[in-house]
Amino acid sequence: MMVREPGPSPARVDAPAIRRGRPLARNEILRNGRLGGIAPAELAERFGTPFYAYDLDVVTRQVAALRTALPPVFDLAYAVKANPNLAVLRHQASLGLGADVASGGELRHVLRAGFAPEHIVFTGPGKRDDELAAAVAAGVRVVTVESVGELRRLARIAEAHSRRQPILLRAAAVEAARHERVRIIGDEGAGKFGMDEADLAIAAAEAVASPWLEPLGLHAFGASNLLDAHALAGHVEATVAMAVRIAADAGFALRLVDCGGGLGIPYDVHEPVLDVALLGSRLATLALRLAADPATADTRLLLEPGRYLVGPSGAYVARVTERKEVAGHHVVILDGGIHHVLRPTLVGQEHRVRVLTGVAAGSAAGPGRFPVTIAGPLCTGLDVFVHSGVMALPDPGDLVAVLDVGAYGATESMPFFLSHALPPEIAIRGGEAWVARPRIDPDVWLGWQVGEP
Ligand SMILES: Cc1ncc(COP(=O)(O)O)c(C=O)c1O
């Protein structure tokens, strides 16, 4: 039986508000104490705890906000790494987005989800021959080449498939305009992503000369989780400027510039929502310039957002198993922890945690609030969601949500640590909830193991 509750649906996107350029403040799964319009206790009873829940209507609104803000020259490819759950992927495909994959496994996910190959882009360091071959065989829109060596391997693979493969060249860094607030724009990772200027020139020349490669343009990722529209716009402008120069020097027509992802979401209550209307208005100026120049009049621009599209759609819900006082300090232990939501520990940034049920639910202010630690069941001091946060105390049995886990939540965690079950992933749309991936008991992977030769 499906759970039906009143709730937002794709048809109720607040398009006029988006058109007026008002950023949608806190478009997220938790609204009025309900998750995607459904009472948390009802979800917990039906699916058990802990669980992840994704409100796909939130995704619809994020996509609409971005699309409405950006000039039409932009295409969007959802960065699958943010959340590869099939329900999320199918939803993105149904909204007409492309997909950005970073491995052969992600490629298989998006093909199964129904993305057309001509809407799939393949980017990422260390692509193996079998992964490149799968992309060429599938006929993906473009493969982003990260080194001269990869370019040569791809040319051989394309020849073996008798296909001319469209490619982008990935720049390790682009030089942002001096007035931008974020001046150094380039991939982190000590050079593992993309090529320097010298290799870009070599790769461009070889691609032009190869009958098996079709150079379309440039790819550059700026920085992750940017909340500053000016910094993002500066990155796009700098990437386009570099692409124009490289294409002109190598003598190919610039058809595509992929500026990566990096559109941020506020994790903290004090952080601003990214002003996509401001981003769009700056990029509209760029789009006009491109359209006016015969060399770029047919150039498409691409963004690969992950976090922005799905982050706020997700919550991780766990139940309080224990509450105690240790040397006068309140400590709450949940039945789930950082093995399922590693990001706060990985990047050192707490996510918002909300009590969903019981007397402490929704009491954000007022008396009866104490410094409290909210932790998971793992045998490591790292397994803490809230360090001395001041809040109303949840009781054993209450439900607690870690918010903003729709991106880099389940997919970026360490689910096998301590052999707890993998929480189910629950998708919600239009007030209907379903199990997108079931709970996986440790007996499943115990059964795969071979303890003796
Ligand atoms: C090549 C590429 N594109 C897109 C993304 C998505 O980034 P975000 O989720 O910050 O938008 C990433 C993130 O690592 C990436 O490496």
**31 plus 1 within the same structural domain:** yes
**267 plus 327 within the same structural domain:** no
CA of 154 to the centre of ligand 1 (A): 22
**333 plus 400 within the same structural domain:** yes
Last residue of a domain, one of 305, 337, 365: 305
- Indicate whether residue 337 lines ligand 1 (CB < 6 A): no
Q: Which domain holds residue 250?
A: 123-305
- Indicate whether residue 222 lines ligand 1 (CB < 6 A): no
Q: In angstroms, rounded to a whole number, what is the distance separating the alpha carbons of residues 226 and 275? A: 11
Q: In angstroms, rounded to a whole number, what is the distance separating the alpha carbons of residues 79 and 16? A: 27
Residue ranges in 255-410 assigned as alpha helix (H): 276-292, 307-310, 343-347
**221 plus 251 within the same structural domain:** yes
- For residue 202, what is the domain's CATH number? 3.20.20.10
**178 plus 316 within the same structural domain:** no
Last residue of a domain, one of 305, 323, 353: 305
| Residue ranges in the chain whose pLDDT is less than 70 | 1-25, 176-190, 363-367
**28 plus 143 within the same structural domain:** no
**What pLDDT, on a 0 to 100 scale, did the predictor assign at position 355?**
96
Mutate to test the pocket of ligand 1, among 59, 92, 103, 221 (most ligand atoms within 8 A of CB): 221
Phi, psi torsion values for 24, nearest 5 degrees? -75, 105
**252 plus 399 within the same structural domain:** no
**What pLDDT, on a 0 to 100 scale, did the predictor assign at position 179?**
44
- Indicate whether residue 82 lines ligand 1 (CB < 6 A): yes
- 100 in a domain, yes or no? no
**231 plus 215 within the same structural domain:** yes
- 109 in a domain, yes or no? no
**248 plus 140 within the same structural domain:** yes
**What pLDDT, on a 0 to 100 scale, did the predictor assign at position 364?**
58
Total number of domains in the chain: 2
Q: In angstroms, rounded to a whole number, what is the distance separating the alpha carbons of residues 205 and 148? A: 11
**What pLDDT, on a 0 to 100 scale, did the predictor assign at position 363?**
64
**What pLDDT, on a 0 to 100 scale, did the predictor assign at position 174?**
84
**234 plus 317 within the same structural domain:** no
**What pLDDT, on a 0 to 100 scale, did the predictor assign at position 247?**
98
